[in-house]
């Protein structure tokens, strides 16, 4: 399998990380702005001057004002402000002096829009919004809006927000660039906790960071009867997206239909996406519905990576590689150094890793690297293929693949398997109806290079498998459930990915430790 150009991309990611920068106004001498501070308080009056001692009172007053670079707008912590906030092109900051909107004094101010959107930032730039609670009337109680929308904007930062009670997405980023959101808690919304979208193509939304966010109990949009809803974090039509240290749980349980369903954290029609150090657990789908998994690189995704993530007890599969009919081509994607435990319990996927291609065209679904992952599944198979899963150049290297009985469900086709450890909890080995590992490898020419075995059928003897109960992503070095023992042969059983295949793995395992040259699995 040759992915020369893509390996260059991986090398850059592994050695430099994904970062976003801006040279806005770099050649222009900045003239210091004369900024002002404005205060809002429930006990204030809109006829006041907006000073600390004479604050304004209402969102209506806020919406009537024009703000300038460096202005700061403060809402009194603990107070409730009814109405829908709009920030548009009349109010623009600069890179050096953004407009800042936040709470002051003790606690967070509450923006209560009822059935409307709480905050809309449209066609502007250099805005910072932080430490507010946005609280709609409820996804089934009259609200039909997104909670916080960033639309056609550039250089927006949002952090420390609590968003709930909106029928669509808690937070929507649409056709915007250079966006950074962090420490956002989105819960009890309908369509999704956080969404990224664009009007068309993959360039509409660019250079976006979603960091340290929590998407919990976003059950589904009761009015959407034709498509998925109830996602934790979902991104489409974007390029250059980083999702880092985010958690998605208990989403999707009230999707009002049977069909394609939600996923904890995923992307589609996107390029150069990195999902890393994230946790997805106990996500769900509707009764009889599909999906409900942990992570997903879906239709039209290219040059993207899921790495160092943890998935457990999701109704759908832990890690999904999907291509849907009508999507642009899916190719050059990587799943590496991840863990999945007991995923795929209810929906049609039934496996730790799931592959599906409804287009029926392998030319639309090709070039995937799946390496150094640990799959532990006491319920189903380690890898599951849909009846529709035509593909080419899919390769699985140095993974630990543990399933209840049969290790593979569906047709593995011409996928490449080298350096993996296979273990059936019930029968030591079982794949394709064959219960002898050596006979299986010889029949299908799997796990062999030049007639020599390179795979293994070894019980890895994990310390504490099948018992994950984490509610936040573990600190580096603190998660030992799936560590390979210091004396395990699996530390030297796999392939030297760099030397033998030219793959730059980043040389870091799930726990942040150095990876043995031929190590198998996600943790060492």
Delimit the domains of the chain by residue range: 4-19+77-501
Pairing of strands 448-449, 452-453: antiparallel
Give CA–CA dist 372/414, Å, rounded: 20
What pLDDT digit, counting tens, does each position of 64-116 carry?
Answer: 999 999 999 999 999 999 999 999 999 999 999 999 999 999 999 999 999 99
Lowest mean pLDDT among 22-26, 126-130, 387-391, 434-438: 22-26
**Average per-residue pLDDT in the chain?**
93
Greater confidence (428 vs 477) lies with 428
What pLDDT digit, counting tens, does each position of 261-298 carry?
Answer: 999 999 999 999 999 999 999 999 999 999 999 999 99
31 pLDDT above the threshold of 70: no
**Which pLDDT does position 103 carry in this prediction?**
98
CATH code linked to domain 4-19+77-501 = 2.160.20.10
Greater confidence (210 vs 463) lies with 210
250 pLDDT above the threshold of 70: yes
The CA-atom distances, in angstroms, between 105 and each of 39, 42, 49, 76, 78 are: 11, 13, 19, 6, 9
Q: What is the mean pLDDT of residues 126-146?
A: 98
Three-state SS annotation for 353-366? EEEEECCCCHHHEE
At residue 200 the predicted structure's pLDDT band, cuts being 50, 70 and 90, is confident
CB 237 within 8 A of CB 205: yes
* Side-chain half-sphere CA neighbours of 360 within 13 A: 0
Q: Give Cβ neighbours of residue 5 (< 8 Å, ≥ 6 apart).
A: none
Q: What is the mean pLDDT of residues 136-149?
A: 98
At residue 203 the predicted structure's pLDDT band, cuts being 50, 70 and 90, is confident
24 pLDDT above the threshold of 90: no
159 pLDDT above the threshold of 50: yes
Place of tokens 């870091």: 508
In the numeric block, which tokens belong to residue 454? 């390179």
134 pLDDT above the threshold of 80: yes
At residue 346 the predicted structure's pLDDT band, cuts being 50, 70 and 90, is confident
At residue 32 the predicted structure's pLDDT band, cuts being 50, 70 and 90, is low
Q: What is the mean pLDDT of residues 419-430?
A: 98
At residue 350 the predicted structure's pLDDT band, cuts being 50, 70 and 90, is confident
Q: What is the mean pLDDT of residues 1-29?
A: 42
In the numeric block, which tokens belong to residue 447? 């796990």
In the numeric block, which tokens belong to residue 99? 């407009």
**Which pLDDT does position 25 carry in this prediction?**
41
Pairing of strands 392-397, 109-114: unpaired
φ, ψ (nearest 5 deg) of residue 186 = -115, 125
At residue 1 the predicted structure's pLDDT band, cuts being 50, 70 and 90, is very low
30 pLDDT above the threshold of 70: no
CB 383 within 8 A of CB 353: yes
Closest by CA to 140, choosing from 195, 249, 251, 219, is 219
5 pLDDT above the threshold of 90: no
The structure's pTM equals 0.94
Q: Give Cβ neighbours of residue 52 (< 8 Å, ≥ 6 apart).
A: 37, 39
Q: What is the mean pLDDT of residues 503-512?
A: 94
Closest by CA to 139, choosing from 184, 192, 181, is 192
**Which pLDDT does position 478 carry in this prediction?**
93
């Amino acid at each position: 399998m040759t992915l020369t150009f893509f390996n260059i991309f991986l090398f850059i990611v592994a050695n430099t990380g994904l970062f976003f920068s801006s040279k806005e106004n770099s050649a222009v001498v900045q003239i210091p702005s004369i900024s002002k501070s404005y205060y809002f308080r429930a006990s204030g009056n809109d006829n006041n001057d907006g000073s600390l001692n004479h604050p304004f009172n209402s969102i209506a007053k806020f919406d009537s004002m024009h703000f300038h670079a460096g202005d700061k707008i403060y809402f009194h912590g603990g107070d409730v402000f009814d109405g829908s906030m709009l920030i548009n092109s009349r109010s623009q900051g600069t890179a050096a002096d953004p407009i800042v909107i936040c709470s002051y004094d003790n606690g967070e101010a509450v923006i209560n829009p009822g059935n409307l959107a709480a905050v809309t930032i449209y066609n502007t730039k250099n805005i910072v919004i932080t430490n507010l609670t946005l609280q709609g009337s409820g996804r089934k109680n009259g609200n039909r809006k997104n909670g916080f929308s960033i639309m056609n904007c550039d250089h927006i930062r949002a952090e420390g927000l609590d968003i709930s009670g909106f029928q669509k997405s808690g937070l929507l980023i649409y056709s915007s660039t250079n966006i950074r959101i962090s420490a956002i808690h989105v819960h009890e919304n309908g369509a999704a906790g956080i969404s990224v979208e664009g009007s068309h193509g993959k360039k509409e939304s660019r250079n976006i960071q979603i960091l340290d966010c929590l998407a919990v109990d976003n059950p589904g949009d009761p009015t959407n009867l034709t498509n998925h809803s109830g996602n934790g974090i979902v991104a489409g039509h974007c390029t250059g997206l980083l999702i880092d240290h985010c958690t998605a749980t208990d989403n999707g349980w009230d999707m009002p239909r049977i069909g394609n369903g939600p996923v904890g954290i995923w992307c589609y029609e996107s390029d150069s996406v990195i999902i890393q150090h994230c946790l997805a657990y106990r996500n769900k789908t509707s009764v009889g519905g599909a999906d409900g998994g942990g992570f997903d690189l879906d239709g039209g995704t290219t040059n993207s990576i899921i790495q160092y993530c943890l998935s457990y007890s999701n109704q759908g599969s832990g890690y999904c590689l999907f291509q849907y009919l009508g999507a642009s081509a899916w190719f050059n994607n990587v799943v590496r150094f991840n863990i999945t435990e007991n995923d795929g319990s209810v929906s049609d996927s039934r496996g730790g890793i799931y592959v599906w291609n409804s287009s029926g065209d392998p030319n639309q679904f090709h070039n995937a690297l799946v390496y150094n992952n640990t799959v532990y599944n006491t319920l189903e198979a380690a890898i599951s293929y849909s009846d529709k899963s035509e593909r080419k150049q899919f390769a699985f290297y140095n993974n630990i693949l543990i399933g209840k009985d049969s290790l593979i469900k569906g047709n593995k086709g011409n996928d490449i398997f080298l350096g993996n450890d296979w273990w059936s909890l019930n029968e030591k080995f079982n794949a394709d109806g064959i219960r002898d590992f050596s006979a299986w490898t010889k029949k299908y020419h799997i796990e062999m290079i030049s007639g020599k075995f390179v795979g293994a059928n070894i019980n890895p003897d994990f310390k504490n498998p099948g018992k994950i109960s984490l509610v936040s992503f573990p600190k580096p070095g603190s998660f030992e459930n799936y560590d390979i023992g210091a004396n395990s042969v699996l530390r030297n059983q796999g392939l030297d990915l760099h030397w033998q295949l030219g793959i730059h793995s980043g040389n870091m395992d799930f726990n942040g430790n150095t990876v043995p040259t031929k190590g198998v699995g996600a943790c060492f």
